[in-house]
Structure 1
Amino acid sequence: MKDNQLSAMEKRRMFLMLFLILLLFLGILGKLFWIQIVASESYSSRGINLVKNSVIQRQRALVLESGRGEILDRNLQPLTGKIVKALVAFPINSDYAMNGQEVSKLARILQTSTDRWVAFARNLKEPQVWGTQDGGEALSLSAQQVTEIDGLGLANVKVVEMENRYPAEMTARQLVGFIGQNPDRVMQIYGADLNKGKVSLTTKIGGSGLEKSFDTWLRGVGETSISYFTDAGKRPLAGLDARMIAPDNSFYPVKLITTLDSRVQLQIEALMDKLGIREGAAVVQEASDGNVIAMASRPNYNPLQVDLASKNWSNYTLKATAPGSIFKTIVAAAALDEKVVTPTETFDCEGALGKYGFTCWRKEGHGPLTLEEGFAQSCNIVFANVMQRLTASQLEAYANKLGVLNEVGWTGKTDTRAVLEQFDAEEAGQLFAAHTPENDEGVLMQTAIGQRDVRMTPLQASNMVVTLLNDGKGFMPRIVQEIRYQTGREMESFPVKSLVAKEGKISAATSRTLLNWMREVVTEGTGQGLQNAKWKLAGKSGTAQIQNGTQEKVNQWFIGYGPVENPKYAVSVVIKNTDPAESNKAIPLFKGIMDILASQGLSNSK
């Protein structure tokens, strides 16, 4: 009886155990059903999409277009974003790769060797565009090449349309700038978008130039990419191999419309290269409102391979450097408006002043000169004598009136941003250094001829001429006039703005006098090399002695306007860090730029 009872108890235990095992098994099945069927697109508290992530494991994607806005010139010609036909190679199982005969045909079409193609394709881990393997840009395929490649029907290559953000022939590279990875700046500027997953720490953003100043507009709403799907063995998935993924938004990317004329810009850069200018800058502005027509900087650089340490990417039109005698324009303005010199008064130049070791560039001297004649001949002695009648505060006031001590580029509020500065990393000018004794007579004499601590940017220099051409009224130079949606509708506009100094402006009479004196610089002074230009020109020369390490170098300047009868453009050029024995290239560059402008029928900005 007892044995029978034990047997019944054991049976109940076994039944209970089997029941629990069955429940556990059913629970596991239920969980798997929930994960794979019900919650496959939102699993766990983090909302992980299992379907999406399982596909990503087999997906190989390549960005074809960044989604960034276009940068265009005033005639709507693109400065960035050239669309080309390119060849993409995908990493797939070797059994599906092309055979030797196919490789030979493809190499012939691409005008390369079979060995080079095999070396490119053999070790692919991610999709890659042909031509970019050495850090270059995508090879643009002709219509015939596209037809022949499509005719091969290869499984591991595909012809696509893609954007060359910075094509090899692009101009205004320092002005346009570059994009790159900057995790710290992404967190600083786009923290909210980072938290929402709209950007990542590796998202490329503007690193310099317009790309940086206008990054919040140019960034766009997403990339266009091509994805290639394979199974775990890197075999193409039938019907799912290559797929285009692009944002569906008719308003983006936006169009950034600049005031630049790319035809003029391109010719100016070619001229700088022809003249062998290693380091320098040139600015062209419209006389009527200060709009920037061209802004060229040398040395050049490759936006696809930026060496931050080299500074080649830096825009020298916005960098302050010693101006030399072009600064005499400010001294002359102060002397005329303050009436410290009479028109007929003469100053005797014997080549040296007799104290402070102060000398004129013409060692034998100029003899007796009026201020007008001293300006045309750029006589240091005349301006040293004039400066003895002015104070440091007066000189500073007129430097401010002519806009050479502060950033002058377009600055203002927009609909989407508190304050926008159109020019990236523009430097302020300088009259005196921090610990310089401003009222020391020797200091003031050196300052009067644009030496010692004086610094000015080429943009400030050309804008000073614009101010004179408008009877002392200054403008903020503008490089971007508007931003448009892709549909063509206006998104933002940046109107012409005045540049007003707290000290006021120089008189219209003094402005006109200085413009006339600039004519005499060309007709009988230091700018006579401009007399055979296409237009009659006017301007002011400058040569600044600078110290580059242990070597003495010079900056060669020329600023001015043309044509004299009906001024349309103000131009400034500087050739930096040249050997004192080198021939002057500033005047040939200035003349060449004016000849380019004379040959162009330029359209006006808004």
Structure 2
Amino acid sequence: MRIKQLSSLEKRRIFLVLLTILLLFIGIVGKLFWIQIATSESYSSRGVNLVKNSVVQRQRALVLESGRGEILDRDLKPMTGKMIKALVAFPINSDYQGEPQQVNQLARILRTNTDHWLAFSRDLKEPQVWRTAEGGKPVVLSDQQEEQINALGLPFLKVVKMEDRYPSGMTARQLIGFIGQNPDRVMSIYGADLEKGKVALTSKIGGAGLEKTFDLWLRGIGETSISYFTDAGKRPLAGLDARMIAPDNTFYPVKLVTTLDLSVQQRIEVLMDKLNIREGAAVVQEVAQGDIVAMASRPNFDQTEVDLASNNWSNYALKATAPGSIFKTIVAAAALDKGIVDPKETFNCEGALGKYGFTCWRRDGHGPLTLEQGFAQSCNIVFARVMQRLTPAELESYAHKLGVLDEVGWTGKTDSEQMLRQLDTEENGQLFGAHTPHNDEGVLMQTAIGQRDVRMTPLQASNMIVTLLHGGKAYSPRVVQEIRYQTDRVMEKFPVQLLDSEAGRVSAATSHTLINWMREVVTDGTGQGLKDAQWKLAGKSGTAQIETGKQEKVNQWFIGYGPVDSPKYAVSVVIKNMDPTESNKAIPLFKGIMDILASDSSGR
């Protein structure tokens, strides 16, 4: 057989083909090295983490802890993130799901029936937590149940410690807020982290409350998950079946240390529910520097199933609403500071003004009253007459001085130069509507008694009391005092700060006078229902008529302080949209809160 000799040209062609193949091979190997070794955690311009994504593809994982920071009260008691023991079931071949006897025994341990368990465990596509039938909360297991389940030796079950971010019975829900998915907000706020693969469009971020305003710190650095590895036949891999994956960082998650008192907060919310308050809010501030001790809102809501179309997740303590006669405090402050009323001067109340259809709440009238007496009896006619001597600009100036038109919550730069507003969706107050004539006498009289367009938040109302107790010096109330690393080293501090107004301050003399007048409201006026409280109390009542279609409704208010001799707390309460025929709940709520504070103070 003859073998054909290759020409030099053919040899050259073969050499070039082989060289091309070799270069391609080297290029592919180099590319694979670059992807798998050099840039495995930041591949492409979008920073895709290939290690993380490859793990996701071959494991079946369940997040046990979000890695999100804790929210604590002032005594470092946790308000979120309770750790519980729960049962996790992993997808597995049915041959490994246990004998009938084991399944029956498991059902008894879980206090359920076999059919219910089998309906849950068969054909699992993803790892699942055993949950309650009502509400879908993880079933909390005892130590004994854990031992009994472990003794069964079922390979696809594991009792784990997991975070219940929003446990049943949790308080301050509207203030704390909630987390949820919001792709648009992730893109606008965390675009850089999204590019680096540190956050996904589906990541849960703060949606409201402290969860939202402090999201930058609370987000943490990664989740803790449990992964379950199986072979192609969904059979557990010996020695590699269940593994915990967690961030290795002793500094995270952080701790958000609030100014709240968890015990006081809990008891206030129990009281609100006992009084059947359907819609309203309560705020407690320390007089010393204005810190928020408690902030409660009703109706309540489930943070795991938020209906954004509903208002139950809104924090009514930060929402402006008609204040009624508590606004007379501002009118009285302006009249006293301006010196437009003689202390001995009397105004005659016959129950009606005689024009504009303006009347007093007491139809037969109060008779002759000084401004001081008119304040205690909350007489509308007295304040209408006083308003005739004030200009709209003067009234607005004093509303600013007492902080009822402005956002008052702590705002400023953090240690890391981040601009921060601690309270989420806090509203401004309002004196006049956009198209309301300011100089109309009838409008001004309605404004003077906290009606017409006047709006105020419960926080502004309680902070006004704090301001008067400090002789006109206003504080900007904090709800978070510091952020700590997990090691308890301080990461950020939020110092006490004053609330300065361009309008200036109410004088110390006027502030002192009004504080004393508030005592008369309780001893001789509209707040006499507080006489039997544990502390001697002082304050101002208010009832505002509001328009809700054809049906008349009212807001019931009471604001004040206690104890009278050595004020420790300022409190404001509002019960919204009440039927005018319903009994007053503002005074019982205010009294109950003050009694809680009195008992708490005596126990410390």
Q: Give 1:106 shift.
A: 1.1
- Change in Cα spacing, 1:224 to 1:51, as seen in structure 2 (3 Å) is closer
CA distance in 2 between partners of 1:68 and 1:50 (Å): 24
Equivalent position SS for 2:540: strand
Equivalent position SS for 1:368: strand
For the 8 Å contact 2:484–2:491, the answer to whether it is kept is yes
Match of 2:443 in 1: 443
Q: Give 1:601 shift.
A: 2.8
CA distance in 2 between partners of 1:48 and 1:367 (Å): 79
Q: Give 1:23 shift.
A: 9.3
CA distance in 2 between partners of 1:541 and 1:48 (Å): 60
2:429 maps to 1:433: no
Match of 1:467 in 2: 467
For the 8 Å contact 1:34–1:40, the answer to whether it is kept is no
Equivalent position SS for 2:601: coil
CA distance in 2 between partners of 1:320 and 1:52 (Å): 47
Q: Which amino acid aligns with 1:8?
A: K
CA distance in 1 between partners of 2:39 and 2:395 (Å): 72
Instruction: Map 1:244-283 to 2 at 5 A.
Output: 244-283=244-283
Match of 1:304 in 2: 304
CA distance in 1 between partners of 2:391 and 2:194 (Å): 54
Match of 2:290 in 1: 290
Q: Give 1:134 shift.
A: 6.6
Q: Give 1:35 shift.
A: 8.6
For the 8 Å contact 2:49–2:197, the answer to whether it is kept is no
Instruction: Map 1:334-345 to 2 at 5 A.
Output: 334-345=334-345
Over aligned residue pairs, what C-alpha RMSD do you find?
2.7
Structure 1 residue runs of 5 or longer lacking an equivalent are: none
Match of 1:167 in 2: 167
Q: Which amino acid aligns with 2:396?
A: E
- Change in Cα spacing, 1:417 to 1:303, as seen in structure 2 (3 Å) is farther
Match of 1:562 in 2: 562
For the 8 Å contact 1:84–1:161, the answer to whether it is kept is yes
- Change in Cα spacing, 1:471 to 1:23, as seen in structure 2 (3 Å) is closer
Match of 1:538 in 2: 538
Q: Give 1:25 shift.
A: 9.7
CA distance in 2 between partners of 1:581 and 1:131 (Å): 44
For the 8 Å contact 1:58–1:232, the answer to whether it is kept is no
CA distance in 2 between partners of 1:518 and 1:43 (Å): 70
Q: Give 1:133 shift.
A: 7.4
CA distance in 2 between partners of 1:346 and 1:249 (Å): 71
Instruction: Map 1:354-503 to 2 at 5 A.
Output: 354-503=354-503
- Change in Cα spacing, 1:134 to 1:198, as seen in structure 2 (3 Å) is farther
Q: Deviations over 1:490-516 (max 9, x none)?
A: 111111111111111111111111111
Q: Give 1:105 shift.
A: 1.2
CA distance in 1 between partners of 2:421 and 2:356 (Å): 42
CA distance in 2 between partners of 1:420 and 1:156 (Å): 46
For the 8 Å contact 1:42–1:50, the answer to whether it is kept is no
Q: Which amino acid aligns with 1:106?
A: L
Q: Deviations over 1:396-417 (max 9, x none)?
A: 0110110000000001111224
Q: Give 1:131 shift.
A: 1.1
Match of 2:176 in 1: 176
CA distance in 2 between partners of 1:213 and 1:51 (Å): 32
Match of 1:59 in 2: 59
Q: Deviations over 1:191-221 (max 9, x none)?
A: 1111111111111110000000111011111
Q: Which amino acid aligns with 2:4?
A: A
Q: Which amino acid aligns with 1:207?
A: G
CA distance in 1 between partners of 2:226 and 2:439 (Å): 67
- Change in Cα spacing, 1:15 to 1:418, as seen in structure 2 (3 Å) is closer
Q: Deviations over 1:307-331 (max 9, x none)?
A: 1111111100000000000000000
Match of 1:120 in 2: 120
Q: Deviations over 1:457-510 (max 9, x none)?
A: 000000000011111111001100011111111111111111111111111111
CA distance in 2 between partners of 1:28 and 1:336 (Å): 91
Q: Which amino acid aligns with 2:127?
A: P
Q: Give 1:549 shift.
A: 2.4
Q: Give 1:548 shift.
A: 1.1
Equivalent position SS for 1:574: strand
Structure 2 residue runs of 5 or longer lacking an equivalent are: none
- Change in Cα spacing, 1:541 to 1:304, as seen in structure 2 (3 Å) is same
CA distance in 2 between partners of 1:292 and 1:195 (Å): 39
CA distance in 1 between partners of 2:28 and 2:97 (Å): 37
CA distance in 1 between partners of 2:328 and 2:380 (Å): 9
Match of 1:219 in 2: 219
- Change in Cα spacing, 1:458 to 1:54, as seen in structure 2 (3 Å) is closer
Question: With structure 2 as the length reference, what TM-score do the two structures score?
Answer: 0.94
For the 8 Å contact 1:290–1:466, the answer to whether it is kept is yes
Q: Which amino acid aligns with 1:488?
A: D
Question: With structure 1 as the length reference, what TM-score do the two structures score?
Answer: 0.94
For the 8 Å contact 1:41–1:52, the answer to whether it is kept is no
Equivalent position SS for 1:297: strand
CA distance in 2 between partners of 1:42 and 1:99 (Å): 48
Q: Which amino acid aligns with 2:451?
A: Q
Q: Which amino acid aligns with 1:342?
A: D
- Change in Cα spacing, 1:234 to 1:328, as seen in structure 2 (3 Å) is same
Q: Give 1:136 shift.
A: 2.8
Q: Give 1:450 shift.
A: 0.1
Determine what percentage of the aligned residue pairs are the same residue.
72
- Change in Cα spacing, 1:92 to 1:394, as seen in structure 2 (3 Å) is same
Match of 2:527 in 1: 527
What is the aligned length? 600
For the 8 Å contact 1:559–1:572, the answer to whether it is kept is yes
- Change in Cα spacing, 1:513 to 1:57, as seen in structure 2 (3 Å) is same
For the 8 Å contact 1:527–1:541, the answer to whether it is kept is yes
Q: Give 1:590 shift.
A: 0.2
CA distance in 1 between partners of 2:594 and 2:242 (Å): 53
CA distance in 2 between partners of 1:33 and 1:353 (Å): 94
CA distance in 1 between partners of 2:403 and 2:48 (Å): 58
Match of 2:101 in 1: 101
Q: Give 1:42 shift.
A: 6.3
Match of 2:4 in 1: 8
